[in-house]
Amino acid sequence: MEKEVFLKQINEEVFNLEDNISFNSNFKEFSSWDSMTTLLLIDFFLTNFDILLDNQSIKGLLTIQDLYNFTNQ
């Protein structure tokens, strides 16, 4: 998935922020970050990339760029 498509899609499907997000944004600092958002993020990865993102993996990720890089592992 192209980077800009990823950025737009993850914002729409997971974070749902009106503010512009970037690849340098720390998603754990978003006002929307909570346990429900974690589940949405797990579903986003499973649905779009067939990747099972678990809580341990999420702990090691901080930025949107980290999430994008995780799709290419």
CA–CA dist 24, 33 (Å, integer): 16
CA atoms within 13 A on the CB side of 62: 2
Q: Over 90: is that where the pLDDT of 9 sits?
A: yes
CA 17 – CA 31 distance, rounded (Å): 9
CA separation for the pair 65, 28 (Å, rounded):
13
Q: Where are the domains of the chain?
A: 3-70
Q: pTM of whole model > 0.85?
A: yes
* End-to-end Cα separation, the chain, in angstroms: 13
Give CATH superfamily name and number for 3-70.
ACP-like (1.10.1200.10)
pLDDT one-digit tens code per residue, 23-72: 999 999 998 899 999 999 999 999 999 999 999 999 999 999 999 999 98
